[in-house]
């Protein structure tokens, strides 16, 4: 560190340092402040978009033709999590009407588009149930094999057992039910095992 004997030398050294580094400091400050304001603007616009999507989803229930409005919402907000929820609602309505093909279409959309692993697993389980109701046993088994969420394993194994019962593969069904029972002791599993024993 240099020691200056006069105040004039200190001022001259400061001027020289500023001349050498001043532009970089000003540029760094401008970039930093610009980045900060840009990031805040981006966050505000994302929140505004999420709020608008939330409001649009909330208005679906007041629509006169709910199925059409829900499908339009899904089409226009396909990248939002609300679109997957809307598709799940359409699938439920289709099952209630007995339209299993429409339910399968909506559930498959959720499987293909949802970024939420739990929601995707729920859609896969429901789609497998629809496939079972349609008699599509092998595709249902293949779909159930894709579900890797640990919280779903007991239900997945139980559904596999149900498919195997429908395929008249009782020994394999019993093994699936027993495996499910080892994961989670669901009361319905014992009923299914008792039915197989008869």
39 within domain boundaries = yes
How far lies 194's CA from each of 166, 178, 198, in Å?
A: 16, 11, 7
Residue 52 lies in a domain: yes
Express as a percent the part of the chain with pLDDT over 90: 28
Distance CA 49, CA 117 (A): 23
Q: What is the number of structural domains in the chain?
A: 1
Q: pLDDT per residue over 69-106, tens digit each? A: 666 667 666 676 777 888 888 888 889 899 999 999 99
**Each residue's pLDDT tens digit, 14-26:** 888 888 888 888 8
Residue 195 resides in a domain: no
C-beta pairs of 133-136 under 8 Å, 24+ apart in sequence: 133/100, 134/100, 134/101, 134/104
Domain span holding position 46:
1-62
> Does residue 77 lie within any of the structural domains?
no
Asked whether residue 31 is assigned to any structural domain, the reply reads yes
Q: Which two tokens stand for residue 43?
A: 């966050």
Determine, yes or no, domain membership for 84: no
- Which tokens in the block code for residue 26? 């000003």
Establish if 43 belongs to a structural domain: yes
Q: How many other CB atoms sit within 10 Å of the CB of residue 49?
A: 12
Query: pTM above 0.75?
Result: no
DSSP state of 134: T
2 within domain boundaries = yes
């Amino acid at each position: 560190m240099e020691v200056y004997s006069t105040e004039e030398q200190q001022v001259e050294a400061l001027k020289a340092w500023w001349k050498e580094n001043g532009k970089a400091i000003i540029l760094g400050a401008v970039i930093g402040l610009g980045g900060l304001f840009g990031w805040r603007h981006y966050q505000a616009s994302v929140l505004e978009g999420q709020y608008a999507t939330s409001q649009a989803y909330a208005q679906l229930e007041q629509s006169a033709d709910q199925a059409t409005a829900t499908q339009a919402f899904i089409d226009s907000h396909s990248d939002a999590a609300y679109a997957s929820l809307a598709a799940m609602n359409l699938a439920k309505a289709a099952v209630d009407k007995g339209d299993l093909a429409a339910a399968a279409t909506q559930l498959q959309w959720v499987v293909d588009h949802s970024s939420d692993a739990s929601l995707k697993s729920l859609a896969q389980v429901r789609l497998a149930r629809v496939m079972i109701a349609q008699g599509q046993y092998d595709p249902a088994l293949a779909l159930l094999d894709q579900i890797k969420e640990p919280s779903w394993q007991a239900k997945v194994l139980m559904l596999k057992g149900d498919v195997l019962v429908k395929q008249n593969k009782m020994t394999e069904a019993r093994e699936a039910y027993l495996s499910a029972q080892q994961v989670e002791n669901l009361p319905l599993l014992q009923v299914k095992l008792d039915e197989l024993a008869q």
